[in-house]
Structure 1
């Protein structure tokens, strides 16, 4: 009951009128007391059962998050279970929430406890599988390709486990210089999900890590249950680094196999997959070199044969043959041109001689050679009419062999004659 000088409700408290701790504890206890009996599921992470005690205490943890509650349960309720309760077991229990005012802690007063059977676990896993598949977390399109040769391989595995040895030895057998960043964590039990997720996020944040392998040996459905946990699966889907799932044997298929970018049937298979085989790569390089050498040799031989064929052609066997043929053609054309030119000159010469003969025949000199003469006045005009000549006029007489002067004299009938 609230003292009259203190606020009745929590909303009415002030800095001047606060509730004391005892009153707050009583208020919380009253509120929790009103809660009904309920069923709750979780994972047993700690069990304290003292000999002769009628009450046992255990810690019930949520497998998806790091949150737990203390539980008090009667020993006879534990003895009524079909099998002894072990740490890490999944259970459902009927309990009444109780708030301890003296310690200020909340715990559960359990009335009944039941193990979660394998059938129920498988049904829940199947339901989660359908949910994640509908969200696209299993789609092949979102899976990232593995690098050909990673700089560093991140490995999440159990402490001093055979899975670590299988992955490391098989990887180094194939590629001796491969480097590992190993995170040893709990791979089963109540802290497995938290530790594996933390190691995964740490490796994913390292820029030198090119691929992450999550490896664990085989086990029962309960042992492999952390690798079907929703929070871990979503953390794997959110990584930027490719993730390889190497959980159990080939028959074991936790949901991590569907979310991871590549599934290895065993940790040994994962060690063989994350790095290439150096011997095989060396053999492939040698084969490629041999193929290249053969291809080059074949190409050189083909080009050599082609050159031989070209050199065996007449034009290559005797390169001057074409020039010689052209020279002969030029010489023939030159001779033909010279012959035709000379023929044309001869014809022109004959024609000129003929014309010269004609000119000579028709020239005044030829007439003079036949005994005729040309009479000219002193000014050079030819006398064509005797009436043009005056008496005693000195005339020039042109004959074939020269000329001479003559003087015109009067003749009977008025004609004029000439005397030297």
Structure 2
């Protein structure tokens, strides 16, 4: 029902908003098809907010739904899914926004497919197949690289040409397989296992160009995911382009955004490595030069010391000390000898003073009988007896002619 308005009698904004809200309410529940562009679960709220966009026109609308209903969907609702929503349109007059209150959500076409893949991803993740601790490091310079790809494909050319451009000596072992269609999964698994059994292969690349979600389904197959998880050789996933994310990317040890990126990951750049070697050699050379310079400076400092600059200076100083000690020793020994000689002279003088010979030199003599006995009394000699007189410089032999004993002295000291 049209509003009765004119230039002279315009309707206020609230009246127009309320009229739109009434018209929308009379529309009733409707079925709407679109793609989930955004899914927002706000913590603590019982309502989930979705953004539903048209797949052809650049138009989107907000959809609200019960959190309990959304969490109970199987397969789960994911962003990018195509859905059909049974909802009641409502217009919020205060904000001037249109939204849909969803009552039923059904996934269709690609949306249902994405939902199934999401459910498979959750189950395999719960088993731990995508755990980070299971990822194996790639070898720095593999002797042989295994490649699983379609024959004469752009992905094969990208990997081979870019890898050989980076490292010309790299060797490839290629296992051809269908990269699309019903035989793709089994042939990729067969090629993967064959390369894994080859002891020369150190890393395996599974490469395919871009494509639709349906074209990339073989690389989200559960059998292929489990086969990659079991092989002993590190696996690089190079499926599609950057936005593509099959389950193979999650189980592989390394994900490459494109086949060209995979070639950069499996082999180093020879030019960059040569530059690195040159830089390392320059650092080593500089380190050696610095070490030699430091040691030379230490040697120069040692050589500049007086002891090393003229080693004879120490010998001269020690020689002077030896000479001084020798002279001192000589003086000390001379003093000791002089004192000893003086002592000997004194002792000799004492001995001479006590010697009978010295007594004889003073005019005394020793009288001995013919048998050599010393005569100490006149009673020991008879007249006419031969005697020997010992004087200082010899002996005198004499004969006794008379014996006259001494008279005793009186008390006054006079002889009788």
TM-score by length of 2: 0.69
Give the counterpart of 1:405 among 384, 389, 397. Answer: 397
Aligned length: 301
- Displacement after TM superposition at 1:414 (Å): 10
How far apart in 2 are the matches of 1:313 and 1:127? 83
Give the counterpart of 2:288 among 279, 296, 307. Answer: 296
SS of aligned partner of 1:405: strand
SS of aligned partner of 2:202: strand
How far apart in 2 are the matches of 1:399 and 1:207? 130
Give the counterpart of 1:270 among 262, 282, 285. Answer: 262
1:189 paired to 2:181: yes
Give the counterpart of 2:149 among 143, 149, 157. Answer: 157
SS of aligned partner of 1:209: coil
Q: Which residue in the other structure is 1:28 paired with?
A: none
1:352 paired to 2:317: no
How far apart in 2 are the matches of 1:406 and 1:223? 167
- Structure 1: give runs of 5+ residues left out of the alignment: 1-114, 416-420
Query: Residue 378 of structure 2 contacts residue 405 of structure 2 at CA under 8 Å; is this kept in 1?
Result: no
- Displacement after TM superposition at 1:176 (Å): 1.2
What is the correspondence of 1:37-186 to structure 2 with a 5 Å cutoff? 117-186=109-178
Cα-Cα RMSD: 1.9
- Displacement after TM superposition at 1:411 (Å): 4.5
- Structure 2: give runs of 5+ residues left out of the alignment: 1-106, 408-416
Deviations 1:236-288 (Å, cap 9, x if unpaired)? Answer: 11111111000111110000000001000111100111100000001101111
Deviations 1:279-301 (Å, cap 9, x if unpaired)? Answer: 00011011111111111011111
What is the correspondence of 1:6-45 to structure 2 with a 5 Å cutoff? none
- Displacement after TM superposition at 1:412 (Å): 6.5
- Displacement after TM superposition at 1:360 (Å): 2.9
SS of aligned partner of 1:276: coil
How far apart in 2 are the matches of 1:412 and 1:332? 74
Deviations 1:72-93 (Å, cap 9, x if unpaired)? Answer: xxxxxxxxxxxxxxxxxxxxxx
How far apart in 2 are the matches of 1:271 and 1:413? 153
1:390 paired to 2:377: no
1:250 paired to 2:242: yes
- Displacement after TM superposition at 1:125 (Å): 0.8
How far apart in 2 are the matches of 1:352 and 1:272? 109
How far apart in 2 are the matches of 1:189 and 1:269? 25
Give the counterpart of 2:222 among 210, 213, 230. Answer: 230
How far apart in 2 are the matches of 1:404 and 1:173? 140
How far apart in 2 are the matches of 1:362 and 1:328? 50
- Displacement after TM superposition at 1:307 (Å): 0.5
TM-score by length of 1: 0.69
Query: Residue 378 of structure 2 contacts residue 403 of structure 2 at CA under 8 Å; is this kept in 1?
Result: no
CA pair 165-413 structure 1, distance change in 2 beyond 3 A: closer
Query: Residue 383 of structure 2 contacts residue 403 of structure 2 at CA under 8 Å; is this kept in 1?
Result: no
SS of aligned partner of 1:409: coil
SS of aligned partner of 1:181: strand
Q: Which residue in the other structure is 2:46 paired with?
A: none
How far apart in 2 are the matches of 1:389 and 1:137? 148
Q: Which residue in the other structure is 2:331 paired with?
A: 339
